[in-house]
Amino acid sequence: MLELSHVVKRFGRQIVAVDDVSLKLSQGVIGLIGHNGAGKTSLMQMIATLSKPSSGQILFDGQDIVKRPDAIRARLGYLPQDFGIYSNLSALEFMQYFAALKGCNNPARLRYLLELVNLHEQAHRPASTFSGGMRRRLGIAQALINDPDILIVDEPTAGLDPEERMRFRNLLAELGFKKLVIMSTHIVSDVETIATQLAIMRQGRLIACATPDEVLDQAEGQIWMAEVEMHYYESLRTKVHILQAQRQGNRMLLRILHPHQPCIDAIVVEPSLEEALMAQQYVQNEGLQVIS
Ligand SMILES: Nc1ncnc2c1ncn2[C@@H]1O[C@H](COP(=O)(O)OP(=O)(O)OP(=O)(O)O)[C@@H](O)[C@H]1O
């Protein structure tokens, strides 16, 4: 459905925000993961036709979206990172406003969407009084007005409380059964349970694209747990990559990233997805140091 081929986005001469990204996506939830400045927003804005690639090509159902932006715009929903609601419109009026902009005249659909995002009981309340999570859910509802095939959501869970986060995740997971949902985040737990694929970006480059299980498999045998004396911890930490250190009296309980047993008594453990992603980025970036 969506095919990116050698996509580059430059800002001026110095900044390469997206660096030679190639990717094929169909339906499901794609978790676009990367630190601040990795290039996630720049990539999403190009897919949403809000900016053009400096080079490379993005095809939607075989059509070049730079040459034919309308082809994808009609089938796209977009929730930007800084989606703000500042007016005194009620939730329903807000939806009606966006529906008019998108040429949709279907009151039943607007009611259905407010129900879908669980805001139907607040339909007449001013949206400016909504919590962060409610605003984002309203943002999703407006992004779905045209029943898009592709839904792009940029850091949608930033600033949400745990319950709102969970609701939001469930909503995106449901949508991902039928549509292509591209969700950017730097919080792994946001996509851990719902992503069918993870696209991992670092400094503009796509360093991996794999299912969560594949990412976990690749880190198998590299995450270790050890309990060590404090003085040993001090020397060990300069030689291996410590993912987590927890003090327990005079000892330290450690989770360590290493290609083989990093110290006596260390036992290999199942990686969490976050650890597996760190393993992947670490290997790509610095290489694992082998201690003798
Ligand atoms: N309009 C712009 N002009 C100049 N540089 C830009 C512009 N937009 C983005 N950049 C730069 O491009 C790089 C990638 O930024 P981008 O916003 O795409 O990253 P991101 O992964 O979405 O980060 P975040 O998680 O903070 O939103 C950064 O170095 C950023 O400073």
Protein residue whose Cα sits closest to atom 16 of ligand 1: 39
Question: Does ligand 1 have an atom closer than 6 angstroms to the CB of 38?
Answer: yes
Question: Does ligand 1 have an atom closer than 6 angstroms to the CB of 34?
Answer: yes
Protein residue whose Cα sits closest to atom 31 of ligand 1: 37
- pLDDT given at position 23: 95
DSSP H helices, 57-125, are 69-73, 91-101, 107-116
Based on the fold, state whether residues 205 and 221 are members of the same structural domain. no
Based on the fold, state whether residues 179 and 40 are members of the same structural domain. yes
Token pair for residue 189?
Answer: 């737990």
Q: Is residue 84 part of a domain?
A: yes
Q: Is residue 171 part of a domain?
A: yes
CATH of the domain at 101: 3.40.50.300
Q: Is residue 183 part of a domain?
A: yes
Based on the fold, state whether residues 198 and 254 are members of the same structural domain. no
Substitution candidate for ligand 1 out of 11, 43, 79 with most atoms within 8 A of CB: 11
Token pair for residue 53?
Answer: 């690639």
- Compute CA distances 15 → 25, 42, 203, whole Å: 26, 12, 10
Neighbours of 98 (CB within 10 A): 19
| One pLDDT digit (tens) per residue for the chain, 292 residues | 899 999 999 999 899 999 999 999 998 999 999 988 999 999 999 999 999 999 999 999 999 999 999 989 989 999 988 777 767 899 999 999 999 988 888 999 999 999 988 899 999 999 989 888 888 889 989 999 999 999 999 988 877 788 888 888 888 999 999 999 999 988 888 888 899 999 999 999 999 899 999 999 999 999 999 999 998 999 899 999 999 999 998 899 999 999 999 998 899 999 999 999 888 877 665 544 433 2
Query: Please, how many CA atoms are within 13 Å of residue 85, restricted to the half-sphere of its CB?
Result: 28
As a whole number of angstroms, the distance between CA 231 and CA 33 comes to 36
Token pair for residue 141?
Answer: 């509802």
Q: Is residue 291 part of a domain?
A: no
Protein residue whose Cα sits closest to atom 12 of ligand 1: 17
| E strand map for 99-166 | 150-154
- pLDDT given at position 1: 87
Based on the fold, state whether residues 93 and 232 are members of the same structural domain. no
Instruction: Kindly report whether the global pTM for this prediction surpasses the value 0.95.
Output: no
Q: 195 with 29: CB under 8 angstroms?
A: yes
**Structural domains of the chain, count:** 2
Question: Does ligand 1 have an atom closer than 6 angstroms to the CB of 33?
Answer: no
Based on the fold, state whether residues 222 and 109 are members of the same structural domain. no
What range defines the domain where residue 169 resides? 2-211
Q: What share of the chain is helix, strand, coil (3-state, %, to 5)?
A: 35, 30, 35
Based on the fold, state whether residues 89 and 171 are members of the same structural domain. yes
Q: 181 with 29: CB under 8 angstroms?
A: yes
CB contact set of 108 (below 8 Å; sequence gap of 6+) = none
Query: Please, how many CA atoms are within 13 Å of residue 257, restricted to the half-sphere of its CB?
Result: 22
Q: Is residue 172 part of a domain?
A: yes
- pLDDT given at position 86: 66
**Ligand 1 centroid to 48 CA: how many Å?**
16
**Ligand 1 centroid to 11 CA: how many Å?**
9
**Ligand 1 centroid to 158 CA: how many Å?**
17
